[in-house]
Structure 1
Amino acid sequence: MPMRLIQDGSFDLQPSWNLAPGRRARVFRETDSGQIADLFHWGFLPVWANTTVQKPINARVETRCK
């Protein structure tokens, strides 16, 4: 159970309200065999994308057309 893992110190968890794209996040999720902790890559990858290479998340307006 995730709360047990947190309480016994198995994970060094630091809450964050600001998770930037490209960072990894600890996520607790339910599976058929119970609750588990996993690391996930946080970001957006649309279903129509033909590559999994990370792209910039922002750009300067002055260089947009280059």
Structure 2
Amino acid sequence: MSQIRKPTEQKVKRMNLNVPVELHNAFKATTAAQGQNMTDILMEFITNYVAKHSPKGRRR
């Protein structure tokens, strides 16, 4: 019998940021209207930003 291995889970770090209430509400409503969530959209933005702006050899 072979063992089934779980995929390795990435460690995560929680980020807190202050956003004006109206902007938060608009962002939440906009992502929900697109069937997405705020975390996924922010992760996509951060990933793209790092890929575009980080010095070579430091991209993750």
- TM-score by length of structure 2 reads 0.19
TM-score by length of 1: 0.19
Q: Higher helix share goes to which structure?
A: 2
Greater strand content: 1
Higher relative CO (CA 8 A, sep ≥ 6), structure 1 or 2?
A: 1
